[in-house]
Structure 1
Amino acid sequence: MAITHVTIVTGASRGLGEALTQRLLAPNHQLVCLARKRNEALLQQAATLGVQLTWVEQDLAELTESGGAEAFMKELLSRTAYQSAAHIRLINNAGMLDPIGAASSNASEDVARHIAVNLTAPLVLSAAFLRETEHLSSDKRLMQISSGAGRHPYAGWSAYCATKAGLDHFSRCVKLEQEGLPHGARIASVAPGVIDTAMQATIRSAGEERFPSHARFVEMYETGSLTLPQEAAGKLIAYLEDDRFGEEVIADIRNW
């Protein structure tokens, strides 16, 4: 069976990343999933469906510290049929919320790790992806999973808001750069809405002292206002494959 779609997904082991991967388990698709831990259920599901899924256990903070993103991306792509695939995708989904609390209370090492995972990793992986595929005329797309927190400030989320804002602005720059190339890639930084994942459980456990907007998120959970990961993933993949993808580089899936 010829491979038509090659997709790399970071943070694929749980939550939104797991749901995105499940949506991509389709004929003629080949997936490379990154996470600190394997998801055996996803691997079994892929095997049952006859979809090629390669799992790579990787702490993205360690990857950025070693400076090995270029070689790492080459290795990831070498495990796929990307040279002949008509569609090549990179979904930078991996992220973390901690540290939560006033900027003055956050430990420097916690902030450094947060930036490495939420901002440095998607930047260097995107850059390496673009370099490794720039010679190809295939349809190349990068989806950055951003957040409304990158566009609206929250007390207690200084690191999270800053890294998501940085991811948005990086995407704006890349769009300008790629538009001038003969085989440029499309890119969009997409806020997926408020999703019922482990990250939301972390928010609810933080308390109002560390996160003043705590009550709002508790209310959303108690009233059933959170989006299920499977629903958000369905919308995100539909947008990724739509002809309009990338026209609006800073997007919110709830408005699409």
Structure 2
Amino acid sequence: MPQLAQIKKAVSFINKKTKNFKPQIGLIAGSGLGWAIPPLEKKVIVPYTTIPGFLQSTVPGHAGNLIFGEYKGTKIVVMQGRFHFYEGYQMKEFAISVRTLKMLGVEKLLVSGAVGSMDKQLPPGSLCVLKDHINFMCNNPLIGNSREPEFGPMFFDLSEAYDKTMRKVTLAACKKIGLKAKEGVYIAVTGPNFETPSEIQMFKKWGASVVGMSVVPEVLVARQCGIKVLGLAVVTNMGCGIEKKPLSHEQTIRESKKAEINFKKLMEILFVKL
């Protein structure tokens, strides 16, 4: 089935479940952050497993639900769990979820993720507000997937992949709640293994601040669709070789859980201010 038809089918199903709820802001919640959202009014939960043609989350810490609701008058949809290239999906399949959000009405997208840091000013527990990225996945979700004009032009500008105004609001909000934050550059790798010490040193020389296994494919699809993007990278560990202890996904989940309170406070501000 062509992707446009597949997405229209998913949107039709979701609209029936939510009674044509039109979210203004979308949040993609990364590892361990799926529960770090403010309490929503008029909440409707739609499991990924029930949506026709939707991908399924298979990684621990990704519940696999679309959560719809209102927070102080702002209509929100949360992707409680995302999809990763290392799960075995084709890269072009990642366009399905973001394009579905677009057709549901999303105009601004907050993309969060757990990351390793290469910047000592971004220790575990801090937040890197993304100002740019490097796609080191050597793949792109728009390859062979860009000929449907409903989702934007094939060739589009990325000089401001991450919205300046939303970044400014976020940094001010972080200061208000006492969350250590600064802007930085995300480098995306395929995973699922963590990086080697030599790779981390190379990424630092390229100008990357943090490294992760997601975010960038979603951002590319969103920007093609004309959705404004805010990238929020929660630091769960320092990059391999910077600290002497070995890395693990359990550590990622554990540190993400610690960040839940501050992340939730931040969402309470951003859902209103953005």
Structure number having the greater helix percentage: 1
State whether TM-score is above 0.5. no
TM-score (norm 2): 0.36
Structure number having the greater strand percentage: 2
**With CA pairs under 8 Å and 6+ residues apart, which has the higher RCO, 1 or 2?**
2
